[in-house]
A and B are shown apart, each in its own frame.
Chain A
Amino acid sequence: MFANKLELLLALIALVMIVIGGYLFYLYQEGSSAHYHPPVSKTASPKAQLVGHLTTLSQAIEAYHAKNLRYPERLEQLQPEFLDKIPLEPKAGNNFKYESDGLNQYRVGIADPAAFGFRELFIENGKIIQH
């Protein structure tokens, strides 16, 4: 009876030690310099990706304005200071539509919002319009 209990206890201790050891091994493996990069975000739906890309573009346009006191004439002007690369529409890979008077207003949107289930989708002067 006593021997059985001792065996059970030893087995439990061994199990706990295996779990702790496994966890420490995981932390050690994940801590190598090969893992010196930001966490990889989960792939969002095309609709969420589209809104995310538009928001990123709008923020970069605003930042460009803060540096130059005018809006860019073309989205390409946001590279490389504000964006590493200009995002494209998910699925079709088309360029985003951009227009600006250079000084006071800009609008960034897509050619066919219906393809993503929107009646209207654009960002105008930092404000997102989506229906």
Chain B
Amino acid sequence: MEKLFNIKIYRLLLSFPFLLTFLTHSVTSIATQSDHSARSLEEEVSRILVKTIKCKKVEVQIKFAKEKAGALKSLAIKFDDIILGPMMADHMTLIYEDPVIDLIRLKKEKEFKILSYSKNKVGILISAKSIEAYLEHKAKQFEKKYNRISIKFSPPYLECLFDVPASEVSPETLQLVKPFVKNAKLEGYAAFRMEAKDNALYASSSKVIVNHFLVPERILRELQNRFNPFDAIPTLHPFQYSMNHVTVQNQYIFLSN
């Protein structure tokens, strides 16, 4: 009996390295398979998004949930130099936790859709250069001309140096700033603070100087009431988000939900 027991022990000890090799291989192969499927899904999502969204580069990062086979733990999508309606953002990032992607639609119709998620985080970074390009685009759209508009960030303020012919300013604005017009133009400085609510952008001017005169607060309040919200953050199909925060940083404006 004792001899038989010893033989069993020896066999077990001998088979242990094989068992260990098998287990290691299985675990590695599952991990590799998971990595591989994450990579192929990332590539597929990237391919579809790059076709539908105007941008320079798309980066997709997918992580599978360890505890539930096939379920995604997180999905991160980053766009560089993305066109957001009339605006160009330097970077836009969307992060979803526990997302459920419509895989049938993705495979068959080559369409990307997120069916559900537990939490999402959206961030948009816009540089001063992109804002200047956007203002130029807006001016062209409304057939307006200006001599100079330059933007600078001084957290928490957005600063603007401007030189605009009075003839190019809307009659409502001109009516308010008429006493400050000199040589048929408006030239000066403005410092703004920005806010966002439900994708609408608001600006509150903290200081405006026109043709060597500080514009009184009463007129600034009137301008704010008339022109706010001054713009909207476009929603990018197929994503849904509501941006509610704006912070001015050293080289970017950072919009987040």
Q: Are A31 and B188 in contact (CB under 8 A)?
A: yes
Chain B contact residues (Cβ within 8 angstroms of A): what range? 35 or more
Surface stretch bound by B, among A5-13, A78-86, A91-99, A110-118: A78-86
Q: Are A67 and B125 in contact (CB under 8 A)?
A: yes
CB distance from A105 to the nearest CB of B (A): 12
Minimum Cβ distance to chain A for residue B173 (Å): 18
Report Cα–Cα, A36/B208, bound state, in Å.
Answer: 9
Q: Which of A57-80 contact B (CB under 8 A)?
A: 59-60, 62-63, 65-67, 69, 79-80
Most A Cβ at <10 Å: residue of B209, B250, B251: B250
B213 to A81, Cβ gap below 8 A?
Answer: no
- A56 nearest in chain B by CB position: B155
16 new A-B contacts, CB < 8 A, other than A60-B249, A63-B125, A82-B254, are A27-B214, A28-B213, A28-B214, A38-B154, A38-B157, A38-B207, A59-B247, A59-B249, A63-B252, A63-B254, A66-B92, A66-B124, A67-B93, A69-B78, A81-B250, A81-B251
9 residue pairs bridging A and B, Cβ less than 8 Å apart: A28-B212, A37-B159, A38-B207, A56-B155, A62-B256, A63-B123, A63-B125, A69-B93, A83-B250
Interface positions of A (Cβ within 8 A of B):
26-28, 30-33, 35-39, 56, 59-60, 62-63, 65-67, 69, 79-84, 104
